[in-house]
Amino acid sequence: MCRKSAMGCPVPPLPAVHEPGRALAGRLGLLADPRGRRGRRHPLLGVLLIAVAAVVAGARSYAAIGQWARNAPQTTLTRVNARVLPVLGVRVAPSGATIRRVIRLVCPGGLAELTGADPGTAESIAVDGKTARGSRHDDTPPAHLLAAMTNDGQVITQLRIPGKTNEITCFADLLRPFDVAGTVVTADALCRSRHNASYVDPVVMPMGGNCPRWWGYLAPCGRHNHGILIL
């Protein structure tokens, strides 16, 4: 379940969790801690819950999340199970640098699937890829994520596309853990391939002028002007 990229993730897979009644803390608690055993001062769940609370409160950057954490009252830090300072008996929030480092280590695919929607009740699923804003750091290239979303705007899952591949090779890996038989799946031209078109049924993909064989499939239907192939 936890997939940092389509090429595999070092974190062991966990069973999919799509229980509407399960609290967010219970879902995030299933994530394995990607940090080494030495130097862990703040619990993983506490760091993630602080980041989530800050974003819900309006934070839109790591700096804003860190500022929100510094100003959080003791009651809030207690509810998110922040680290306790034994000498003073008070809760201490992680620094902005710690929050950024932990979030960068946590698998984005695991986060999406633990908090994602159940695709079994969706009328249609849209697959699209985007480059994450602000993900470029020093010599690290920006993260390009491929995500699946239901027709009512709920994210099902996502995975990070490796640097030497593209959305075409990751399309099947994205949907493989889920039963999407009978659900209409839409994707853009970057996911178009014969393998992907035959992987799910039905699938809606746009075509360009460089697909003469697929255009031939549409000829009997009189759809040459639409550029959409439905299989």
- Whole-prediction pTM: 0.63
Q: What are the sequence ranges of the domains in the chain?
A: 35-105, 121-230
Element (DSSP H or E) covering residue 169: helix 167-175
Kindly state the tokens that stand for 17. 């969790």
Considering the segment(s) 121-230 as one domain, its CATH architecture is 2-Layer Sandwich (3.30)
Contact assessment for residue 32 and residue 3, using Cβ atoms and an 8 Å cutoff: no
pLDDT along the chain (231 residues), means of 10: 46 50 77 84 92 92 93 92 87 92 78 73 85 74 83 82 77 81 77 64 60 57 46 47
pLDDT for res 49: 93
pLDDT for res 11: 47
Beta strands in 12-166 (DSSP E): 83-85, 90-92, 124-131, 144-150, 155-160
Kindly state the tokens that stand for 183. 């659900």
